[in-house]
Amino acid sequence: MRPAMIFLLTFLLASCNLVDNKDMIARVDSVSYHLNKTAEVFLTPWL
């Protein structure tokens, strides 16, 4: 697994544990998804 993926998964799990508000979880999920896609685009040439 790529370091970026591990970091984002950890961040997402931590966020879900800290916040039990469904709207906030959905928002964090969406942000992580976009961050992940952006990270893939920028990091793929170097990996």
Per-residue pLDDT, 6: 78
Sorted by sequence, the CB contacts under 8 Å of residue 33 that are 6+ apart come out as none
Residues of the chain with pLDDT under 50: none
Per-residue pLDDT, 18: 59
Per-residue pLDDT, 36: 82
Per-residue pLDDT, 37: 85
Per-residue pLDDT, 39: 81
Tell me the H-state helices in 1-47.
3-18, 22-43
Per-residue pLDDT, 32: 81
Per-residue pLDDT, 27: 76
Q: Is this model's pTM higher than 0.85 or not?
A: no
